[in-house]
Amino acid sequence: MAEQAKICVFGAGSIGCYVGGRLAATGCAVQFIGRPRLARELSATGLRLTDWEGADLRVPAAELHFATTPQAAADADLVLVAVKSAATDEAGAELATVLKPGAVVVSFQNGLHNAELLRQRLPGRTVLTGMVPFNVLNRGGGAFHHGSEGRLEAEEHPALERFLPAFAKAGLPLELHAQMLPVLWAKLLLNLNNAVNALSDLPLKEELSQRAYRRCVAMAQEELLGLLDTAGVTPAKLTPLPPHWIPKLLGVPDFLFRRLASQMLEIDPLARSSMWEDLQAGRKTEVDFLNGEVVKLAHAQGRQAPVNARLMSLVHQVEHGGQRQWSGEALLRELRRARAGE
């Protein structure tokens, strides 16, 4: 009988615990690598994984393998990297010292360049790009809730094939793509809401229910879409609506939005963006890897991206103790001023 594949989650947080937890709960051998604080918490509680469609799975504490050093990845056949983008370089360096040569690594992170960076750090290993479209809320006490729609996506590669049944069995089938860059740009387009959500200090559902915040997101997205058009990049279609229509829909009045975009509002009422979670925890955010990519793309075209640049600087200000609870109207005024060059 073929030996059971060993899966390692590197960066056990919201995404790592949820994806790894569902794999463990459905029979996979999963090794989690994360911080001592979570190791202590989970050694008392185990993991509970729930989703918006009613799934409710558990991994008892006694069956949970949680380590706090990279050595635990040494016998992994598949490593799922789920650290925040700023921690990718260090994660790659740590994994390089321990991974066996045939290990397959998948980056399940937001942003454009994490897999590329891991590839540089892990020469000779197969490093693939993944994408997590849905929100995971860390409810505390070992409970992680998947609160919005979407399927995991990953780069098509023969080395990934042997792991596909495990993801399907876990209820997280991987949708495979030959080209991931259009998928990553499309996800980044959606992630432009992260900064607005973090600045609003509101749950996603409440924030997206208010037109002024949605207009802020739409402004940031329109800026990116214009730059992608010039670059000849067509973002993938991740939502029922094609990417270019999303900002148009976001701009409609609330009553119409509720009617036309009910699916977009099917989010757990407590769910927040990962950027809000970073600000809440006093950590540096991923804003440079999201809105910052829009600014970089603009500069590469000899242009500016004033809306995304202003969102970046407002998030940086909060990282340093600045104003956090922006009302939708105030944020919209601020972004309009930025767009007008003020």
Ligand X SMILES: CC(C)(CO)C(=O)C(=O)O
Residues at the site binding ligand X, with contacts judged by CB under 6 A? 110, 134-135, 190-191, 194, 273-274
Shortest separation between residue 39's beta carbon and ligand NDP, angstroms: 10
Query: What is the number of the residue whose Cβ is closest to ligand NDP?
Result: 13
> What six digits make up the tokens of 166?
């495990």
Beta-bridged to residue 163, according to DSSP, are none
Tokens 């370089």 label which residue?
Answer: 89
C-alpha torsion 127→293→15→154, nearest 10? -40
Shortest separation between residue 136's beta carbon and ligand NDP, angstroms: 4
Phi and psi dihedrals of 321, rounded to 5? 95, 10
* Residue from 55, 88, 91, 87 nearest 70 by CA: 91
Q: Give the number of residues in contact with ligand NDP, rule: CB under 6 A.
A: 24
* Residue from 97, 99, 167, 89 nearest 130 by CA: 167
Q: Measured from the CB atom, is 26 or 107 closer to ligand NDP?
A: 107
Q: Is 21 near ligand NDP (CB under 6 A)?
A: no
Phi and psi dihedrals of 111, rounded to 5? 100, 175
Find the angle CA(312)-CA(316)-CA(320) to the nearest 5 degrees. 170
The binder of ligand NDP chosen from 6, 7, 9, 11 (CB under 6 A): 11
Distance CA 324, CA 321 (A): 8
Find the angle CA(180)-CA(185)-CA(189) to the nearest 5 degrees. 145
Residue 190 binds which of ligand NDP, ligand X, none (CB < 5-8 A, kind-dependent): ligand X
The binder of ligand NDP chosen from 9, 14, 47, 127 (CB under 6 A): 14
Q: Is 291 near ligand NDP (CB under 6 A)?
A: no
Q: Is 136 near ligand NDP (CB under 6 A)?
A: yes
DSSP 148: S
* Residues between 73 and 92 that touch ligand NDP (CB under 6 A): 82-85, 87, 90-91
Q: Measured from the CB atom, is 121 or 215 closer to ligand NDP?
A: 121
**Rule CB under 6 A: which residues touch ligand NDP?**
11, 13-16, 33-35, 82-85, 87, 90-91, 94, 109-110, 132, 135-136, 274, 283, 286
